[in-house]
Structure 1
Amino acid sequence: MIKTATINSKDYWDKRFEENWEPYSGRKQTLYFCNIAYDLFPEWLKAKLTKGVSVADVGCAEGDGTNFFADKFPNSRFTGIDFSDVAINKAKLHYPDQDFMQADIAAVEKKFDVVFSSNTLEHFVNPFEKLSYLFKISNQYTILLLPFQEYDRFEEHFYTFDYKDFKINTDGFSLVFAQEFDCSRKPNIYWAGKQLLIIYAHSSVLEQHESLNLEDYIHSLSDHYTRSTAELETSKLTINELSTQLTQQQTTIANQQDTIQNIYEENKRSLEKLEQIRYEKDKETLELQEAIKIKNEYIEELLQEIKEAHDSSLLLDRELKDSENQIEWLLNEKYKLDIELQNIKSSRFWKVATKYYFIRDRTPFIRKLYRALGIWKRHGFKTLMQQFKLKLTNRGQTNRYNSITKSVYERIMSEIESGEIRGVTVIPSAFEFKELYNQRTINLAKYLAKQKIAVLFVVWQWSKDEIVPNSHKEVYSNIYHVPFYDFTENVELLELFGNIQNKNAILNIPSKEWSQLLLPLKKYGFRTTYDIMDDWEEFNLVGQAPWYDKIIEESVILNVENVVAVSMPLVEKFSHLRGDVSCIGNGYYSELLGETNRNIAHETLQNDSQVKVGYFGHLTESWFDWDLVEKMLIDPCIFIEIIGYGASEETIKRMSQYSNFNYIGKVEPSRLSEYVKSWDIGIIPFVLSKLSTAVDPIKVYEYIYFGLKVFSTGIPHLKDYPNVYTFDKENADVSVSEFIREISLSEVSDDTKSEIDAFLGDTTWEKRFQNMIEKQNIFFSEIYNNE
């Protein structure tokens, strides 16, 4: 406690606010009392504040209560008043949009409709003198929240309030509301005793309220204490008499219970004997039935083994004969190939070719020329010239990329200083930026760029020699292509962004390389977020994401400030590490799909008997259920059209045997509507696995936008999306073809249409990314702020 100034003087409180108000949880206690006051406010008062009045918060400290009520009642105008210069200066810093006034209450001349003061008057020896000043600046109501019956006072509290202290009528005001609250009912660290909310109304508004009965609220404890004591004694005598009568009745009942218990025990023993006889008979019957069942099963097994042995014998005979034929054929083929190989090795061509490869691989000039021709063939002449130019400029200048990267950063910094952009964000990507590629990372970069945020789009490289197209160029307004190795080897250049506040790194690749960049990113002031877009562990198990390490991903999750996940299964997967992971799903861009293409499928539904279903997106073999698609194709009334890439030629060939199957291939997102408009249903046929459960497919949002009904398997959480029908092929009562036809015949209700409108309004990429950027992680940010 501060001892250098008189307690509760202005100097005392200036030092309190300057030195230990926040460390001693003063701001949190202010909000605790405000929540109590808000809960105790009568509905008529909340209605007036909601409609809009002027309010003074007297003794506002650092303004937390003023801002609390301003948020609750935005139509009212709140002004915080405190005699401490330090408190008011801090309040203005915390809440620059609120009004604050530094003044002693006795010197305030401005009047307000409502005057509110929380836990202030107890700090004065004569609090009612201060109350008179509150009445002077109040036009309608004066509201007090006070410690009540605090007889073991804090050092700073000079007065204890009790029922006897409050007058019904005083200074033109009348008491219209009083309510106690016992804070000890809910454990907390801010106040262990009672609080009392008092509301006085000015005579000009008194007629709006019922008159307050003083005995009901204030003096009931002192005026009726004697009468209550007498009534208590009378009640005790009555209880004693009733207790005697009860004892007598209990004795009688106990005697009767003994008799009943004896009868019950005798009957129970008889029933137990009968039950034992019945049990033994039932046991004998079951044993006989079980013996018969075992013999029957044994006979069936013997018959089945005999049948299988016979079938196996026939099969082995056929396989043996086939093997003998195959061995004979292979020996003949080997003999032919040996002769052919010997002829080749004896030929002039073999000798010339051997010398050619020796010269090509052992002669430096020819080897480099051969490699250059390979780059020309695979990447084009322009790429060959770029690499050739790079090698020439790098000769004698080992830090060329450092200067190029630095020039990009300096350009961004100059645009920040000129006000053209407002910050910078680092986004890793597994692929280069393509404006029309509908992928979460690219859409996030475009969103930030439109918000005037410069984006360092760091493109992954498997090696330093791997060429990244358009390196260090602005590939989209405010989006810059940066090769991964240029970024990592020049990470210290991030220091160029200095004290810029708006610096973020939104990571999505939990690799060892990116985990090692966390520390330097934080060192240079970047706020880090990990966006969990897929279940990388499951991808690794099926042979993809070879760089994945579970320990590294968990380390990333624990060390970034914010974590978001694309689906609830991913949130739940990592809930044991952090309880603050937010679910921010995927979305859609209406301008990419076509502003006029909303409900285009609904507007052009086919009237023929054939149901036309379609799919667009990646045909990942590890989860796309081609077997289920083939079961649909067996029904000639279902026509399936597939748009996408990633399927094997063998699979496409197998599906193409069906006349009701059409494979389109890859199509730009802007042209999807040309095909979708003739579809009845959009399908997402995924095999149920941990991998599929974790995804939130972008196509489901696009299907719904186009007006399609959606058929889905393998992704349980899609059942909560409007107009989506999930099919459980393991437990379904109907075939998949029947299920498809039922979907096509179902009507879309008005309620479902309303749900779709609301869903699409909430799931645009803009809304998704706005939530991601604005999301503040209280748990981790408080730790870092206090370090």
Structure 2
Amino acid sequence: MSDQNGINSNEYWDKRFETDWDKLGGREQSRFFARVAVEALPAWFVQKVRHEKLRVCDFGCAEGDGTDVLAQVLAWDMTGIDFSQPAIESANTMYHSARFSHENLLDRPDRPAFDVMFSSNTLEHFARPWDVFDAISNYATKYVVLLLPYREFDRHSEHEVTFDAPNIPLAPKAGWTLVYESVADTRLHEPSFWPGFQILLIYARNEEVAALQMTMSDARINGSGSADHTLAELRAEQQRMREVEAQSAADKARAEEAVAQLDAVKAEARDAQLGVAHAATHLATLTQRCDVLRERLQTATEEHGAQIGAFERMHRDNLKELDAAAQRAATVANELTDYIHYLRQREHTLQSELNLIHKSRSWRWTSLARQVQEWLRRRMSDVNYAYTHGGVLDTAQRMFAYVPKHLRRRAGADAAPAPVASAAPVETAAPVVAEAVTPVTVIPPKLPRQRPDAQADVFVFSIIDWHFRIQRPQHLSRELAQAGHRVFFFTNYFEDADEPGFSVERLDEALPLFQIKLKVKGAPQIYFSPPDEDALNQMRTGMRLFTEWTGTDHSWSIIQHAFWYPLATSLQSDDLLYDCMDHHEGFGNVSPELIEVENRLMHNADLLIATSSFLEKEARERNPRVAVIRNACQYSDFCNAPAERFVDPQGRRIIGYYGAIADWFDADLVAQVAESFPDALVLLVGADTAGVRERLAGYDNVQMTGEVRYTELPYYLYAFDVCMMPFQVIPLTLATNPVKIYEYLAAGRPVVSVDLPEMAQFGELVRTATTYDGFVDQLRAALAALPDSKAVVARRKAFSAGQTWAHRVNDIRRAVETLPRPTVSAIVLTYNNIHLTMDCLESLVRNTAGVDLEIVAVDNASSDGSRAYLTAWAAAHSNVKLILNDKNLGFAGGNNVGLAAATGDYLTILNNDTVVTRGWARRLVNHLRHHPEIGIIGPVTNNIGNEARLTTHYRGIDEMHIEARSLTEPYRGEWFELSVAAFFCVMMPRSTYERCGPISEDYGIGFYEDDDYCRLVESAGLRVACAEDVFVHHYLSASFNKLGEERKLALLATNRAVYEAKWGTWMPHKSRERSRVEGAAV
């Protein structure tokens, strides 16, 4: 025998927990015995605890390891109690799945009771274990569950009792009955911490036993007789005990009364004896009457209890039927919503395609054929009649007589089909409208004009609408707004309208976040083909109105579908990013024209963002500026368990998936999962657009909910025992980086996926398989590993916490900030006019942004102090090269020296009598990058002799900058072709210079060099262009005017002859009337 008081003292166990508990495997033993208990618990008990959300107490919880197992598997409301303060402190530090309290229930404290008291391997430490049961049962309203060593004949030194069938009572205390027992041979466990048997006992209060309506198979109690028989005997014995006690009390009262009478009046002994006999007779009568009344009361109580039980069962059955009906109704409603959404999208797509067909050349060409076909169909009855009654000749006469009548009736009729009505949704936000002839513009209040030092506006040209399923586009846009950018999210839906314009929806009152819907006639779909010329022109006009409304000065354009590329190039954003989320060719319904647009976009984008390694490889084949920025999750939306979660009425384990159920979803794989786990529920949450419901209709253990809101996902996710990703392995999925994996891990859930390239980044956090059988095996392994340890769950959560959308936006901002900028070399040729040179150079420094500028200053032997000024100025600026010619080499010669010294990718020839305006260089570069057919381009100006000249009204340089903005902003992204780009300011890519060579020096000091060079450009198969959105002030021929009028005219005549000898008759330059931008306020 051991020292009973020592073993069960606070001091003993405090010392154990502070010293050798961990070393001797105490934590592992606690989790081991908890798992043994969980496995031994009957299904009816587990279901009752879960569904009724019973409050459970783990008595003698030690450091909470076993309590954590019970909390994960059995109950959401779990409390661990132990009389050791160090143990409870450790439990509170390690686990948050349960509450822990330092108490000694054997002292019978005054505290609220629990529904279930659970005790694992505790009672064997007491010499009188059922006294312990008596104490702890006071704190259980329904059940006491005990796990004990069984038939431990070679007892542990700390154990006081060996439990065996003879010493385990069916009713250890009045009001309690054993309702279930199960013996486990723990030697079969691997690993095992107990080399023998353990017995699980469930005691229930008697009133709970009646409510359970258990069968013998539910109880599984060894020994003779059934549970009902044992209960009946127990009740009879209790009744007999009560009768004996009552009789004993009556006899004692009579005896005491007799003794008193004898002591007081011995003389009246006979009378007293008669009185006692009379009293005994009367008492017997009363007792008999009481027994009858007691039996009637018990019968009535039992009948009333039975009626209440029947009512409660009927109520529960009704609730289950109502819940099932509500779930079926919700499922049908979701399916109908999904189908309506699909039909609307399909109708919109078909109408767009029909409009394109009606506008097509083939439709117009076949118009006559359709008319003839229709005419022949209508005439068949006449022909049949005529042939029957008049023969072939009469039939022919009637036909030929009808033709001229038909043609006269059709004369002047419009053969074009009527326009198809648009099914585009009505936009409730304030619209912006612009009509071609009489503009009527209803504009929402303009936003404050963007400050030059503000963060770039972000234009997100999305692949979806904001209110569609929440995905990467919405998450990135919101986080960019959180980071301080004004974000304008362009929906893929258009408003079908003849006039250009846009409408605005404020998405978040606390953030600068807006959805923009453009007006486009026919409201085309973006997924199948690029916009036609009419749609593109209308969108560009709408964008001009939009940028006038936003007051955008500098911006990023993030394109998420190639359809937007032709439009985005007109915005002149500082940076154009392609967020490549999918392998679009993998969808199979994308036109070759749209694929070609995507190829141009990938080549010309300032930054390609690839969401997967597969897409990265494709991107790097087209563009060196690639950043891999994968998907992520909104960790805070998934890391905490919701207040409510989905519950399977049958209490089955749940293998779950949520997300789109589309063509890439492997329904056959899910069917094999359902067959392999018939006792589990396969729960699929998401819109089914691939007919998967019909494929899986034969499986009773498959449930599909339809589309649910983003905010409802945790409700289902936290019900999943194991999450799965059953995708087909096809090019589309090979390029996919699934958002749902990050969300699964944020909840700490185990995940099984098909083996896709993007699974590699998750390492051991995600189980993968390459075959159907392997997938099933991994699911089985994941289920067998439950409950997952706290460390495993923590690793999953930690990974997801480091992969949020805020992290991804930081990556995007960092990638943009570190982009290599285009290198531009500005060759500034000077000859005297020092004050003009000063203005020109200072404007270059002040108004050049978005490029790496190199200034190559070349002086042609000035004599007015320019050389000294240039020397000092170049010394003060690190990006300046200074070349001082010993003699005047002329316009061509001086510029050729500068071109030869320049290192930029883009070469600019800039007269020193010019002043550039803000953004000039980046806009010219953008035109050349996005339109490789342009070989050389110049700006519009106030003073030149061709189409580049605009009428201006400013009276000084300060006013010039203001007016220049109003002259260029409405034409952002526009350019036109012309014969000669005057060389007061032109830019060409280095490739043009390498193909066409230096400027011809056949023209001496100057004149006609620019005409000559433009002919070279055209002969190389390139175009000469003028940018409508770049204005450069020009004083015009400031250097040549110093030659004198007579010498100047002689030089013009001589050089014209040189030009015509090379290129033929010179065509005089001409001016133009600038077309007004439709609907724009200029």
TM-score, length basis structure 1: 0.44
**In terms of Rg, which structure is larger?**
2
Structure with more helix by fraction:
1
Structure 2 length normalisation: TM-score? Answer: 0.32
